[in-house]
Amino acid sequence: MKLSRLYGGGAALALALFAALPAWAQEAAATAATQGTTPEAKIDSGDTAWMLASTALVLMMTVPGLALFYTGMVRKKNILATMMQSFTICCLVTITWMVAGYSIAFTNGNAYMGDFSRVLLAGFGENWDKPFTLGAGTDGAAPQTIPESVYMMFQMTFAIITPALIAGAFADRMKFSALCIFMVLWSLLVYSPIAHWVWHPNGWVGSGVFGLPGAADFAGGTVVHINAGIAGLVCALVLGKRLGYGTDNMAPFNLAYAVIGASLLWVGWFGFNAGSAVAANGRAGMAMTATQIATAAAALGWMFAEWAAKGKPSVLGAISGAVAGLVAITPASGFVLPGPSLIIGVVAGVVCFWSATSLKHMLGYDDSLDAFGVHGVGGMIGALLTGVFAYGPLTATTDHPQG
């Protein structure tokens, strides 16, 4: 009896094993297939969430940050006009970027501008839920961990604030209709190609020329600040001085608005600089650290320089110094350590104080809100000192592993 039960149990076990063979074979085949193919790239939810937040922070820098900052520094009669300029530029450049700006800046094209494959954001519906590769098919292709729609939106906020900065140079003296036309044309013909030069893997500035490494501009010292500063200076020279300049009272109407605006710029700049890492990683943390230190150092540098030159510091000087520090650390933020960021901030605060006061009077131009003195000069300081203080491991690339 026991022997028959033993035989019966063995037969049942053998039958069960035989029945399971097809399932084992399928599982083995699936495992082999998985090992033989590369897993499909997936969106990193942490990186994407950080970039969405950064996009909102950078947009806040223009509306309401820059709008309040500039509004607080103009005369009472120009308050609404100045605020309207920032708001309108935000709307105009959004559509311009969607229609052609993004395609000119961030498609492959050639070394000087992109092609028109993304006009009206064509093709965005094809891989909307997958990460994209910037410069796909080029030697410097840069795979991302976020969808292209998020990258496009982040870069759109940069395209918005750059022309809005220019408006500070000609505040009080450009017709609204002329401003609208100028901003659309400047965004398409100047900003987008320069963004391609510096930030696209195929761009002639970013990829390097004559065997030299490309320019190190982490978050826009060249593309945003020097670009806007020079454009602002040219506008100020072409339009001439404001009526009553040098005779009428040009004092700011409400510096409380300007302080609120500068504070929003400071907070939003964390998205501007740390967001330019395009990931929630250590580089973003270093960029945020450098930004905070340089901003505080520049505010103090300007304040003490003004104290020494004029006998007392001012609220306008402190907030202007903070913005100068934010500008100067922009190209360096992801490439320098905390110590050098302190030096960059102090130098920017002192030199931008000189450029916004002495240099402006020496050259005789009327830069209403010191767009060139702060953004142009501050951007140049940051670009030069990035080369001096860049930390090798933070600037290393495949072609230049030592940085």
Neighbouring CB atoms inside 10 A of 18's CB total 9
User: What single-letter amino acid sits at 76?
Assistant: K
pLDDT tens digits, residue range 41-51?
799 999 999 99
pLDDT tens digits, residue range 227-236?
999 999 999 9
pLDDT tens digits, residue range 205-223?
988 776 677 889 999 999 9
Q: Is the dihedral of CA 152, 157, 160, 163 positive or negative?
A: negative
Coil, strand, or helix at residue 340?
helix
Neighbouring CB atoms inside 10 A of 402's CB total 8
Q: What pLDDT is stored for residue 46 in this prediction?
A: 98
CB 132, CB 152: distance < 8 Å: no
State the Cα–Cα distance between residues 214 and 206, nearest whole angstrom. Answer: 4
Cβ contacts of residue 7 below 8 Å, gap of 6+?
Answer: none
Q: What pLDDT is stored for residue 245 in this prediction?
A: 86
Q: Which one of 1.20.1090.10, 2.102.10.10, 1.10.3430.10, 3.90.550.10 gives the CATH number of domain 45-395?
A: 1.10.3430.10
State the Cα–Cα distance between residues 51 and 150, nearest whole angstrom. Answer: 7
Residues of the chain with pLDDT under 70: 1-39, 210-211, 396-403
Q: What pLDDT is stored for residue 243 in this prediction?
A: 87
Q: What pLDDT is stored for residue 101 in this prediction?
A: 99
Q: What pLDDT is stored for residue 396 in this prediction?
A: 55
Tokens of 391: 């930390």
Q: What pLDDT is stored for residue 56 in this prediction?
A: 99
Q: What pLDDT is stored for residue 394 in this prediction?
A: 78
Q: What pLDDT is stored for residue 399 in this prediction?
A: 53
CB 349, CB 321: distance < 8 Å: yes
Q: Which residue intervals of 245-314 are DSSP H helices?
A: 255-273, 282-310
Which pTM value belongs to this model? 0.89
pLDDT tens digits, residue range 264-318?
999 999 999 999 999 999 999 999 999 999 999 999 999 999 999 999 999 999 9
